[in-house]
Amino acid sequence: MRSKVLIVDDLELNRDMLTAILEKDYPILQADGGRKAISMIQKHQDEIAVVLLDLIMPEVDGFAVLEVMRNQSWLKAIPVLVITAESKPGVESKCFEMGVSDFIKKPFDNAIVRNRVKNIVDLFSYKNQLEEKVEKQTETLKKQYKLLVMQAEKLKESNTKIIDILGTVVECRNLESGEHIKRVKGFTRILAEQMMADYPEYGLTKEKIDVIVSASALHDVGKIAIPDSILLKPARLTKDEYEYMKSHTTRGCEVLNNIQDVWDEAYGKVSYEICRHHHERYDGKGYPDGLAGENIPVSAQIVGLADAYDALVSERVYKGAYSADEAFHMIVSGECGVFSPKILECFRKAKRKFEELARAQKQQQQKEGMA
Amino acid sequence: MTLRECYEQLQGDYDGTLGRLCSEKLVERFALKFLTDDSFALLEESMNIGNYSEAFRAAHTLKGVSLNLGFTKLYEVSSEITEALRGGEQPQNEALLGKVRDEYQRTVNLLQELQNG
């Protein structure tokens, strides 16, 4: 708590007169010159409530003391009251320009000095308390914000974990495609990043792409509700069986609906879109809803193409693998799925990246197989 | 001699000073303390060796003290020499120091008389 009054005057008589006025109300410090004043302020900066300053002193004068106080930012917390017999015009306004709080001309009146000192001390003590309070509150706010950021990060992690757990369940159930999900994620990212670069109208961002890539792991989550006799049938499906197989899209949505309140809204929404609509076709002849054109969510369009491409280049129980070139042409020509012109343009541009990823995944798989 | 009589002889402002300093005790205490103040000695010495900026500060101090204590005559002459010395200049009027010396001596004599009762 600041309570002390520092009296700066080279004349003892003057210091004593001011001390006599103020010593009843405040502990008094005295400095007989500018140099001493500066070192005392430095030493007692958290105790001094006000400085009473004489201007004309040998060596370091009052103006020099003010200059130092201003440069050290001491004036923000410690007010200065100048007491002088100086009658030269302009001195008073110069003092105020330099940041003094009050100016008393000699001869001074004891009662006035006492009152002005009290006013300044009270005002600054109030101001300093307010600033301290604001500082503390800002500090608290910063801490809370940090905590919030950490919690958001945790939430994101747990969202990703939920998706990965579900994805793993699908992987285990869907014997034919151990690495399928990993590859679809990779193709999805390549395609989504190309879309973000070429077609800003879809509003894709780095964050949104992260969610789409993560959620793409769930595109076939509904397959856990398809019986083995259909899911793993090593031959062509009958018409009824195929209709049942198509229901993996809507069955997946039921699963997701049941866990909707567990995770973040953005993840839930994107997962649902992908799960339900990754078999829609741009011409409206897909399933389950027959959505056409840009009515199909962009997330589902991207994952749909990634999924179709992966199915072509992979071996399945019912078919062999196509070469990368064949797969590319089948998709671009509309032989396998119907996609939007924009997404096909991005697919063309990203052809090489798709093939690199497919190759790298295959090598990785072979390595693991040998080990 | 009472304090008031002393001020009357000094042609000082007793009532004004009493009003400002609030008590007779304080006025007397600081008026007598003036006897130990060596601002005038510093002024005279600085003038003798030609250090006019030091002389300015000493004159300024003397002016401030005499103003605050209500020594009106001494304030007037010290104020005059202060302005003459401002900027560290040698005063044109050589008689100024003498005027301050005379008034200072007169003041000190009267205060000593007061002190001795």
B79 vs B73: CA distance, rounded Å = 10
Class of domain A174-370: mainly alpha
In this structure, the number of other CB atoms found within 10 A of the CB of residue B44 comes to 16
pLDDT tens track for B46-95: 999 999 999 999 999 999 999 999 999 999 999 999 999 988 888 888 88
Q: CB–CB of A112/B92 below 8 Å? A: no
Give me the pLDDT at residue A251, please. Answer: 93
Tell me which H or E stretch contains A30: strand A28-31
Give me the pLDDT at residue A265, please. Answer: 80
B76 vs B54: CA distance, rounded Å = 20
A137 vs A339: CA distance, rounded Å = 55
Report whether pLDDT(A42) > 70: yes
Q: Which two tokens stand for residue A117?
A: 């000192």
Give me the pLDDT at residue B41, please. Answer: 94
Looking at chain A, the whole-number percentage of residues with pLDDT higher than 90 is 65
| All structural domains of chain A with their residue ranges | 4-136, 174-370
* Torsion, Cα of A190, A196, A201, A206 (10° steps): 110
ipTM for this model: 0.88
pLDDT tens track for A188-240: 999 999 999 999 999 999 999 999 998 998 898 898 889 988 988 888 889 99
Q: What is the pTM of this model?
A: 0.59
Amino acid at A133: K
Give me the pLDDT at residue A369, please. Answer: 65
Q: What is the mean pLDDT of residues A164-186?
A: 76
Q: How far is A78 from chain B (nearest CA, A)?
A: 26
Nearest chain A residue to B19 by CA: give it.
A109
Nearest-by-Cβ selection for A107 from B37, B70, B86: B70
Tell me which H or E stretch contains A52: strand A48-53
Report whether pLDDT(B109) > 70: yes
Domain CATH code at residue B95: 1.20.120
Q: What is the mean pLDDT of residues A303-309?
A: 95
Q: How many domains does chain B have?
A: 1
Fold matches, A4-136 and A174-370? no
Q: What is the 3-state secondary structure (H, E, C) of A189-216?
A: HHHHHHHHHHCHHHCCCHHHHHHHHHHH
In the block, tokens 């690495």 appear at: A179
Amino acid at A286: G
Where in the sequence is the domain holding B76, given as residue range(s)?
3-115
Q: How far is A137 from chain B (nearest CA, A)?
A: 46
In this structure, the number of other CB atoms found within 10 A of the CB of residue A57 comes to 26
Give me the pLDDT at residue A371, please. Answer: 56
The CATH architecture one would assign to domain A4-136 is 3-Layer(aba) Sandwich (3.40)
A73 vs A91: CA distance, rounded Å = 22
pLDDT tens track for B14-55: 999 999 888 899 999 999 999 999 999 999 999 999 999 999
Number of A:B CB contacts under 8 A?
60
Q: CB–CB of A317/A233 below 8 Å? A: yes
End-to-end CA distance of chain A: 73
A341 vs A232: CA distance, rounded Å = 34
Query: Chain B: which residues have CB within 8 Å of chain A?
Result: 16-17, 19-22, 26, 29-30, 33-34, 36-37, 39, 54, 57, 60-61, 63-65, 67-70, 79, 86
In this structure, the number of other CB atoms found within 10 A of the CB of residue A172 comes to 10
pLDDT tens track for A314-325: 877 667 788 889
